[in-house]
Structures are given as structure tokens and as C-alpha cells.
């Protein structure tokens, strides 16, 4: 199984400041045939299902604000919120779809400082 | 707009079978572009993939649950279902159904999720 490890577990950021979440996979999720990283990012607010933010590690889903940016390749990935807004308070998960079983990171809780 | 809705009992007794159905509306379940999956989340914890299937009935299960899980599809009803047998308190969770957008590699990512349904295992 590919183990997804997120850091930190939680972080508190001031409104308008940058939030950075890290995700590391235990093996590469880069598929050589198409040079794509099989990694997505989700946002989950209390009482709601996860919402897709990013797929292919860096492609923003339609309708997702451009303050959300995904980056990285191979085994190391980052989700950056460039200017934190109040509505961004949530838990964020990375997930690999490179190989079965599909696995998620443990989540990072983002709060307002 | 695509919608997925989970339904089923909210309370299941230990050792019995958990059964849930996901009804898809606003789109057809019968497409080679999508798979359909189940994910669960114990209260206050992270996400665990249970399994996925295609509309033709090809299934893929998490090995950690494979011996207890069956996922099936009913294209006439535009639904797919989850059965998890021999449940224990550890199976208490919010159960989500979701759509998987399949890429040319045969793998894909979850793009639409249902609202989830809490299933509690207790006598």
C-alpha cells in the first residue's frame, strides 16, 4: 500500500496570510507513460463531504479559487493557500490514485490565528 | 447537476450486515468514463476507501475489507450498493458514495461525493 503522510497535523494562519500543507507518499505516484502525478487534494468542512480542489497534483478543479495551488512531483507534494480566507477553515486531505488500495493522508486542519 | 444520495439504515447490530445504496441523479451511471466508489470516515477520523466498481460490474476492493465487502450496480435504477457483513463497532462511520472520473490510464480521481450517511454499529 502507498502510505500518504501529511504535515503538519494542524496549522493556524492569519487572515490574508499563506498556508502551506505538505503531503509525502511512500512511493512515487508519478506515472511515467503520461508524466502525470496521480494525486488529488480535498477540502472538508465540518458536516460536509470532501470537495475536490486539485487533481493531477496541480490542476485546479473548475470553480476552485486560484488562491489554491497544488505543486510537487514524485513523492513530495504541497497545497498552498496564498491568502487565507475565513471560508478556507477546513481539514485538507491528499489522496493518491496511482495504485490500489486508494489511500488518503491523515488530514491537516487549517484554522484562523 | 450530478447528485449522489446515500440511503440505508443508520443503526446496525454487531455481526449483522450493513447495506447502503447510492442513487445517482442528473447523470447516467452507465458510462465508461466513470467508476463509482464507497469511502468511509469514522467520527473525528480520516478517510478510508472501501471499494469501487464500473457500470459493467467490475469491482475493486480495499484488501483490508475485501473479505467482508460486496459492491454491486443496478443500472436500471441508476444505483450502486454496498454490503459489509459481520460488522463491529469499528465499522461505525459516515459512509460516502462518490464518482470516479476515469482517465486514459484506467485510473481516476473522486470528483463528486454524496453528502454521506452515518451508520452506527451498536446493539
For residue B105, pLDDT over 80 is answered with no
Pairing of strands A108-112, A10-13: parallel
Q: Which of B37-51, B60-74, B96-110 has the lowest mean pLDDT?
A: B96-110
Q: What is the pLDDT of residue B104?
A: 74
Q: How near does any CA of chain B get to the CA of A39, in Å?
A: 8
Q: Given 3-state DSSP classes, what are the helix, strand and coil percentages for chain A, each rounded to the nearest 5?
A: 5, 50, 45
Q: Is B63 an interface residue toward A (CB < 8 Å)?
A: yes
Q: Determine, for residues B49 and A51 on separate chains, whether the beta-carbon distance falls below 8 Å.
A: no
Q: Is B15 an interface residue toward A (CB < 8 Å)?
A: no
For residue B72, pLDDT over 80 is answered with yes
Nearest to B113 among A31, A49, A107 (CB): A49
Q: What secondary structure letter does DSSP report for B30?
A: -
Q: Is B5 an interface residue toward A (CB < 8 Å)?
A: no
pLDDT digit of tens for each residue in chain A (113 aa)? 999 999 999 999 999 999 999 999 999 999 998 899 999 999 999 999 999 999 999 999 999 999 999 999 999 999 999 999 999 999 999 999 999 999 999 999 999 99
For cell 454524496, the residue is B114
Question: E strands along A18-89, which residues?
Answer: 19-25, 30-31, 36-37, 39-44, 51-55, 59-60, 68-73, 76-81
Q: Give me A44's grid cell.
A: 472538508
Pairing of strands A59-60, A19-25: unpaired
Q: Determine, for residues B64 and A61 on separate chains, whether the beta-carbon distance falls below 8 Å.
A: no
Identify whether the C-beta of residue B122 lies closer than 8 Å to the C-beta of residue B88: no
Q: Is B48 an interface residue toward A (CB < 8 Å)?
A: yes
Task: Give the C-alpha separation, A37 to A34, whole Å.
Answer: 9
Listed residue (A105, A93, A103) closest to A1, CA to CA: A103
Q: Determine, for residues A51 and B48 on separate chains, whether the beta-carbon distance falls below 8 Å.
A: no
B108: nearest CA partner in chain A: A97
CA angle (B44, B45, B48) in 5-degree steps: 140
- Which pLDDT band holds residue B107 (cuts at 50, 70, 90)? confident
Amino acid at each position: 500500500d502507498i502510505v500518504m503522510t501529511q504535515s503538519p497535523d494542524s496549522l493556524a494562519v492569519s487572515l490574508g496570510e499563506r498556508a502551506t500543507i505538505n503531503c509525502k507518499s511512500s512511493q512515487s505516484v508519478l506515472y511515467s507513460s503520461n508524466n502525470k502525478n496521480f494525486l488529488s487534494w480535498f477540502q472538508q468542512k465540518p458536516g460536509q463531504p470532501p470537495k475536490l480542489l486539485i487533481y493531477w497534483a496541480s490542476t485546479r478543479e473548475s470553480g476552485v479559487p486560484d488562491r489554491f495551488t497544488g505543486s510537487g512531483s514524485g513523492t513530495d507534494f504541497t497545497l498552498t493557500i496564498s491568502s487565507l480566507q475565513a471560508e478556507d477553515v477546513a481539514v485538507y486531505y491528499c489522496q493518491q490514485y496511482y495504485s490500489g488500495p486508494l489511500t488518503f493522508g491523515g488530514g491537516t486542519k487549517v484554522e484562523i490565528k | 447537476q450530478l447528485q449522489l444520495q446515500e440511503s440505508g439504515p443508520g443503526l446496525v447490530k454487531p455481526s449483522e450486515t450493513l447495506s447502503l445504496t447510492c442513487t445517482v441523479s442528473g447523470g447516467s451511471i452507465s458510462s465508461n468514463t466513470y467508476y463509482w466508489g464507497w469511502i468511509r470516515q469514522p467520527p473525528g477520523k480520516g478517510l478510508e476507501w472501501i471499494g469501487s466498481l464500473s457500470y459493467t460490474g467490475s469491482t475493486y476492493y480495499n484488501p483490508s475489507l475485501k473479505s467482508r465487502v460486496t459492491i454491486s450496480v443496478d443500472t436500471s435504477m441508476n444505483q450502486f450498493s454496498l454490503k459489509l457483513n459481520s460488522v463491529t463497532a469499528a465499522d461505525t462511520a459516515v459512509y460516502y458514495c462518490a464518482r470516479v472520473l476515469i482517465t486514459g490510464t484506467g485510473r481516476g480521481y473522486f470528483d463528486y461525493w454524496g453528502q454521506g450517511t452515518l451508520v452506527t454499529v451498536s446493539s
